[in-house]
Structure 1
Amino acid sequence: MKIEEYLETLPENILSGEDVQLPEKSFREIFKFVGLGKNDVFYHLGCGNEKGIEIAIKEFNVKKAVGIDNNSEKIQDARVHLKERNLQGQLICSNIEDSDISEASVILFWFTDENIINKMMEKFETLKPETKIITIWGPLPDCLPDKVNFPYIINKTPLKRAENMQEQLLSIFGVKCIDFVTAWEFAERYTKSIGTPEIRNDRFLTIIQTLMIWINAKKLGVACGEEIPESIQTYIKLMKMNFDIDFEHLLNE
């Protein structure tokens, strides 16, 4: 089956990210990376549960922590958990596009939906100077990050625009083109950072991510060289033979 068809066999809530929660270690890594502290007003957009809010309050002593999610059941559960822990975080049930985030000094924003991203970019443009926006895996569209510890990326307002894809690529990956080694290294960083100890198929996920990184780089004209690396060809064949997952059609689009 094509890779797209394989992804469609996964539960819809997994594909949408609705049930994907960051592990606690990821929150701590992110908060240390961004320098979260007592003077910050932290907003977690699409918070799901309260764990990020709890860690921001208890361990990083933020001035204020706000979580926003449109899942009313999760927000209600999160409110109960915070109350049980006697923590004063604010949890709002709302679409993030309709929410007021103007007081934020640090924002965690992990979305893949282009419509949501485009709407939020308009909001980000109006935020006060020096507001930090953290994304995971992908940068804000057409923007140059201020700081990168892949897969965590920080943009500060006012947002800096990249002149082209190569400039953005260099700022994120530290290279001017993507080869197999770069694709594997960053796919592995992502898998290890976002994964949980319970994951048993992290190598499988790393292979899929590596192939997608390199193929997308090829499509965008930022892969190294014109030829398909032997390692990429080998993993494409492996995925086809062992798992019946086909990537070859993506190379011909």
Structure 2
Amino acid sequence: MKIDEYLETLPENLLSGEDVQLPEKSLREIFKFVELGKEDVFYHLGCGNEKGIEIAKKEFQVKKATGIDNNCEKIENAKKNLKEKQIQAEVKCQDVLDSDISDATVILFWFTDENITNQMLKKFEGLNSDTKIITIWGPLPDCIPDKVNFPYIINKVPFKKAKNMQEQLLAIFGVKCVDFVTAWEFAERYTKAIGSSEIKNDRFLTIIQTLVIWINAKKLGVACGDEIPESIQTYIKLMKMNFDIDFEPMLKE
């Protein structure tokens, strides 16, 4: 089974992060990283539940906190929870593409749908200067990150455009080339950030993400050295023998 065929059998949110509720510890890490504070107007796009809004308002004391999600059931539940906790914040059932975020100073945006991200990029470009957009795993399309604490990435308006994907990738990892250690470290950071109750599943996801990171770096010409590292070869064989997942086609594309 080719890796792309295998990925199609998994729940869509496993690798993309979509519809995954970030653990509270990760939300706090993000808010500390972006230096969220009393003067900020914060939006959580694709908020799901109210936790991000609650923490931003209650613990980081932002001026205004708004959550937007197109899942009306979740939003109604979030409204109820905020009301019970007497937290002055707003959550809306709305398509993020239709949302008014013009007063934002900080936005948490975790989407992988290319159509949505490209449309939102145009919307973000019209925001006030120095507005911070926080993404997870990857930066905004064709943009150089202003600050990285992987997997958390900040792009600030006006955006710095990357010359190519190679420049963007190396800016994310902060290295001159990507080796196995770098690929594993960053894959593990992502896995820990999105959290899981099953440690064995975390390790499995880390291995897959490590191979994807390194192979993509290799294809872009930014992997360290010309040879495939022994560790990468070992994991490719392990995936093929134990799970019938074949990464070889990715190397040949």
Tell me what 2:66 maps to: 66
In the TM superposition, 1:101-180 aligns within 5 A as 101-180=101-180
Alpha-carbon distance change, 200 to 86 in structure 1, aligned in 2, over 3 angstroms: farther
Whether 1:241 aligns to 2:241 is: yes
Tell me what 2:201 maps to: 201
Query: What's the TM-score, normalizing by structure 1?
Result: 0.95
**Deviation for aligned residue 1:94:** 1.1
Whether 1:76 aligns to 2:76 is: yes
Tell me what 1:186 maps to: 186
Identity between Structure 1 and Structure 2 (%): 80
SS of match in other structure, 2:29: helix
**Deviation for aligned residue 1:33:** 0.4
Asked if the contact 1:188/1:206 (under 8 Å) is kept, the reply is yes
Query: What's the TM-score, normalizing by structure 2?
Result: 0.95
Alpha-carbon distance change, 14 to 238 in structure 1, aligned in 2, over 3 angstroms: closer
| 1:133-157 deviation per Cα after TM superposition (whole angstroms, max 9, x unaligned) | 0011101111111111111111111
SS of match in other structure, 1:246: coil
Distance in 1 (alpha carbons) for counterparts of 2:112 and 2:34: 21
**Deviation for aligned residue 1:197:** 5.0
**Deviation for aligned residue 1:225:** 2.3
How many residues are matched? 253
SS of match in other structure, 2:154: strand
Alpha-carbon distance change, 17 to 193 in structure 1, aligned in 2, over 3 angstroms: closer
Distance in 2 (alpha carbons) for counterparts of 1:161 and 1:12: 29
In the alignment, residue 61 of structure 1 is paired with which amino acid?
Q
SS of match in other structure, 1:201: helix
In the alignment, residue 84 of structure 2 is paired with which amino acid?
E
Asked if the contact 1:187/1:209 (under 8 Å) is kept, the reply is yes
Alpha-carbon distance change, 158 to 60 in structure 1, aligned in 2, over 3 angstroms: same
Asked if the contact 2:145/2:153 (under 8 Å) is kept, the reply is yes
| 1:48-70 deviation per Cα after TM superposition (whole angstroms, max 9, x unaligned) | 11110011111100111001111
Distance in 1 (alpha carbons) for counterparts of 2:8 and 2:162: 33
| 1:85-122 deviation per Cα after TM superposition (whole angstroms, max 9, x unaligned) | 11111111111111111110000011110000000010
For structure 1, the residue ranges without an aligned partner over 5 or more in a row are none
Distance in 2 (alpha carbons) for counterparts of 1:209 and 1:51: 27
SS of match in other structure, 1:139: coil
Alpha-carbon distance change, 87 to 199 in structure 1, aligned in 2, over 3 angstroms: farther
**Deviation for aligned residue 1:180:** 0.9
Whether 1:97 aligns to 2:97 is: yes
Distance in 2 (alpha carbons) for counterparts of 1:219 and 1:64: 44
For structure 2, the residue ranges without an aligned partner over 5 or more in a row are none
Distance in 1 (alpha carbons) for counterparts of 2:113 and 2:191: 20
